[in-house]
Amino acid sequence: MKLWIGAAAMAAVLALGGGTRADGLADIKARGKLICGHTQASEPFGYPDATTRQFVGFDVDVCQALARGLGVGVELKAMSVEARIPELRTKRVDVLAAILGYSPERATQVDFSHQYYVSNQKIMVKSDSGLKTLKDLAGRKLAGSKGSSSVAMAIKLIPSANVLSFQDSPSAYLALLQDKIDAAMAGELILARFIRQAKEQNQGTLEMIAEPLFVEPQGIGVNKGEPALLAAVNQVLLEMDKSGELQTIFDRWVGKNSAYGFTRAYKVEPIPTN
């Protein structure tokens, strides 16, 4: 009899646990706040404003828009590129809007939303370096942000290069100016800002190699096993695209109302994984 009661009690506990499994979307709604991770030193995506010291940028605006779309407040959490996925997987943040480029390897760790930005990942060199193509980088010293897809892909695509990891993109930029490396890698927007900065501060002339290292769709990072949250994020992104809100954010930070003047040639849709 005691054995039967024990088994019944265990079954009840298991049933209760199964009925109350983790639900990120429900937790966010109950909390009334979305905790959204973004990068801390990646202008124009996530960086501190020089005057207010508040974090601003493309991804910061996307975090705020996601929260509004979910009907909750927002808590912004700045982090290094390297810390993005660990912060998400340990549930210190609910989602990542943090220049998180898709790769098959990353997709084994987190789920990706529809793409909301598409970036050409490029390589920046000194204009007088004589480096004009990706092939010219064989045997050269390249650097990018620690934990970035640029570093991972350069190791694969230019295997003879000496690929280094720096703490962030500004560190790699500084190393290039100081001739400690031959080239720096990042998204084309970030590199365009460094090229302009070097010119304005009379630190030399830099340029990007025309051929992209690779083209990278970026999505919102969501923990595995959270289908309701992922679906809700995708729905908000689709609505942002339809209403023009995403275009407004794009134009503000990288498009016609910015120093970059880029044209948006992509739409919110599932990330191609082939």
Q: Are both 21-119+217-253 and 120-214 of the same fold?
A: yes
pTM for the model: 0.78
**pLDDT value of position 155:** 95
Q: Looking at beta carbons, which pairs linking 59-63 to residues 24 or more positions away fall under 8 Å?
A: 59/97, 59/98, 59/99, 60/97, 61/249, 61/252, 61/253, 62/97, 62/116, 62/220, 62/246, 62/249, 63/34, 63/36, 63/38, 63/95, 63/97
In this structure, which CATH number among 2.40.50.140, 3.40.190.10, 3.10.290.10, 3.40.50.11260 belongs to the domain 21-119+217-253?
3.40.190.10
**pLDDT value of position 102:** 94
- Show Cβ contacts of residue 22 under 8 Å, excluding neighbours closer than 6 positions: 225, 226
**pLDDT value of position 22:** 66
Cα–Cα distance for residue pair 161/155, rounded to 1 Å: 7
- Show Cβ contacts of residue 33 under 8 Å, excluding neighbours closer than 6 positions: 67, 72, 73, 74, 75
For residue 183, which of 157, 199, 164, 196 has the smallest C-alpha distance? 164
Q: 120-214 architecture in CATH?
A: 3-Layer(aba) Sandwich (3.40)
Cα–Cα distance for residue pair 8/27, rounded to 1 Å: 30
Distances (CA, A) of 119 to 80, 182, 216: 19, 22, 5
* Peptide bond before residue 44 is cis, with ω within 30 degrees of 0: yes
Cα–Cα distance for residue pair 89/82, rounded to 1 Å: 13
| Domain residue limits, the chain | 21-119+217-253, 120-214
For 247, half-sphere exposure in the C-beta direction (CA atoms, 13 angstrom radius) is: 10
**For every one of its 274 residues, what pLDDT tens digit does the chain have, with 9 covering 90 and above?**
333 334 443 333 333 344 445 699 999 999 999 999 999 998 899 999 999 999 999 999 999 999 999 999 999 999 999 999 999 999 999 999 999 999 999 999 999 999 999 999 999 999 999 999 999 999 999 999 998 889 999 999 999 999 999 999 999 999 999 999 999 999 998 899 899 999 999 999 999 999 999 999 999 999 999 999 999 999 999 999 999 999 999 999 999 999 889 999 999 999 988 7
Q: How many Cβ atoms from other residues are within 10 Å of residue 98's Cβ?
A: 30
**HEC profile of 211-227:** CCCEEEEEEEEEECCCH
